[in-house]
């Protein structure tokens, strides 16, 4: 070595370098070989849940392949993952019947497609962190007073009104991705939410004045600015409504229209 100082360092460390080459490299080689063999064994005995990757809490994403990679197109490899978000290793739906979209005509690009059932399972996995959702802004309260005057007739005007959305359905097709409209909830004819109108009395007691089970159709849009996502509710419509046991015996022939009006006011407040 041209540099005598570096040569001296090499000479001093030669014993350690020799021990590493003779002792550690075989161990490293064995470690890598064991991991490769374990992965090969897992692939050979692959099941529908073999490659779950933990995400948060009891949730994981299933990256098990649903079919063998497609190598039929020159210079292109297509890999098909399950992609569903699981809760306690189970999902309310499956990837059966999903048709993959055509590849966009771009050279040298990696393209990842997420099917709407994956987004649906993600929403269902997160719903315990989102619901129950309580809308208690001034616009929602005023809309409830205008649409349901019977509440003030029973409890008086010195009360606070709010709307509680308790849950979304576990239906496999409650969510659709539409390139023109956005993310569409509902529109399946399946009851999608339980809604309660809450009354906070001057004493602080909260009463569930009215309870409904209903079909809720909603269209969401998302805008991303500086890596921050801003959701917006584009439209909301209430379909068929079933009244559940409530503190008020209330009959309204146009409940769907009244609740739609309330949610539209709440949506406008949310968007601003």
Residue-wise pLDDT for 222-267, tens only, equals 777 777 778 888 888 888 888 888 888 776 668 888 888 888 888 8
Are the beta carbons of 152 and 162 closer than 8 angstroms? no
Q: Which tens digits make up the pLDDT trace of 196-209?
A: 999 999 999 999 99
Q: Which tens digits make up the pLDDT trace of 137-180?
A: 888 899 999 888 888 889 998 999 999 988 766 555 677 888 78
User: 195: closest CA among 225, 157, 169, 160?
Assistant: 169
Q: Could you tell me the two tokens for 126?
A: 């997160």
178-211 burial: b if 16+ Cβ within 10 Å, else e: eeeebbbbbbbeebbbbbbbbbbeeeeeebebbb
Measured distance CA(186)–CA(220) in Å, rounded: 11
Q: Is the pTM of this model over 0.85?
A: no
Measured distance CA(158)–CA(6) in Å, rounded: 86
Q: How many CB atoms lie within 10 A of CB 135?
A: 23
| Interacting residues of 128 by C-beta distance below 8 A, sequence separation 6+ | none
When the pLDDT of each residue in the chain is averaged and rounded to a whole number, the result is 80
Are the beta carbons of 172 and 93 closer than 8 angstroms? yes
Burial of 129 per CB tally in 10 Å (0-12, 13-18, 19+): exposed
- pLDDT tops 60 at residue 1: no
Portion of the chain with pLDDT greater than 90, in percent: 8
23 three-state secondary structure:
helix
């Amino acid at each position: 070595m041209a540099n005598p100082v570096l040569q001296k360092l090499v000479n001093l460390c030669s014993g350690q370098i020799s021990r590493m080459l003779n002792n550690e490299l075989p161990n490293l080689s064995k470690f890598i070989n064991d991991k490769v063999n374990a992965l090969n064994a897992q692939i050979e005995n692959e099941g529908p849940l073999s490659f779950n990757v933990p995400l948060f809490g009891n949730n994981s994403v299933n990256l098990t392949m649903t079919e063998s990679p497609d190598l039929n197109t020159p210079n292109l490899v297509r890999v098909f993952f399950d992609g569903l978000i699981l809760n306690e290793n189970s999902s309310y739906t499956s990837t059966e019947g999903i048709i993959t979209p055509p590849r966009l005509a771009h050279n040298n690009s990696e393209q990842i497609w997420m099917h709407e059932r994956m987004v649906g399972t993600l929403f269902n996995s997160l719903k315990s962190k989102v619901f129950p959702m309580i809308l208690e802004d001034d616009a929602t309260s005023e809309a409830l007073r205008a649409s349901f005057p019977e509440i003030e007739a029973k409890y008086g005007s010195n009360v606070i009104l709010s709307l509680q959305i308790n849950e979304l359905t576990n239906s496999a097709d409650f969510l659709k991705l539409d390139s023109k409209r956005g993310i569409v909830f509902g529109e399946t004819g399946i009851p999608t939410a339980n809604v309660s109108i809450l009354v906070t009395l001057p004493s602080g007691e909260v009463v569930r004045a009215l309870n409904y089970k209903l079909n809720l159709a909603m269209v969401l849009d998302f805008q991303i600015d500086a890596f921050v996502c801003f959701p917006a509710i584009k439209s909301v419509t209430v379909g068929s409504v079933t009244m559940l046991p409530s503190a008020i015996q209330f009959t309204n022939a146009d409940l769907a229209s009244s609740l739609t009006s309330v949610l539209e006011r709440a949506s406008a407040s949310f968007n601003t």
